[in-house]
Amino acid sequence: MCGRLSQYRGIHDFVDTLSMPEAWRNNVGDAPLGRYNVAPTTQVAVLRVDDAGPRVDLVRWGWRPHWAKDRAEPINARVEKVAHGPFFRAIWPHRAITPVDGWYEWVDEGGPKKQPYYIRRRDGRPSLCASIGQFSGNEHNGFVIITADAQGGMVDVHDRRPVVLSPDLAVEWIAAAMPSEHAEQIALNLGEPAQTFEWYRVSTAVGNVRNQGPQLILPITARDT
């Protein structure tokens, strides 16, 4: 996962996907987010559950432990290592869902620039990405999206993909009482398969983080690039 995504629907659209009966504390607002080109280190809407119930917050995309000041903040965590490696040990118990409309990958197709692709669910629903983070309400807050090996034809676009969960599994993922071992098995084995998604070429304009708007996710032909 190359590190660019879209979140253009409203929070209610994302929350409704989970079909949770509890009232959500919405700290983001009701208007559509309208973000078609979301970059790392910016604030991203995440869904999680704390002692008071479900909540929606804007959280910085990227995190590192306090002792790892010699490296850049990762934005993703490899599912094969995240549950047991020392780097993410402190935040592994703090699970969240990052709901996205889609994400971008760049592919070297032999041209002067890499070709961006947009990836989204075929059924038009949001992708519910398994995430973990620090949500302590201070400057150390941040989150990462868990990634796995790509499958099927998606390998031609990128060798990694976010772990996208079904709505039922997403609800389990953020449940406060779920054992860590069960969370690991969900992330390792139960992500949505490649056939759930579609991917297509989009304009190279998405490479500039200042560019926004629905035109960024429109499909183009090879002749348009």
Q: Give catalytic residues, as residue numbers.
A: 2, 105
Give every CB contact of residue 215 below 8 A, 6+ residues apart in sequence. Answer: 203, 205
- Separation between Cα atoms, residue 32 and residue 143, nearest integer Å: 22
- Separation between Cα atoms, residue 83 and residue 183, nearest integer Å: 9
**In Å, how far from its chain's centre is CA 200?**
19
E-assigned strand segments in the chain: 5-7, 25-26, 35-38, 43-50, 53-60, 76-78, 95-100, 102-107, 115-121, 127-134, 142-149, 160-162, 164-165, 197-201
Do residues 211 and 37 make contact, with C-beta atoms less than 8 angstroms apart? yes
For residue 107, the number of C-alpha atoms closer than 13 Å in the C-beta half-sphere is: 20
Phi, psi of 191 (to 5 degrees): -65, 155
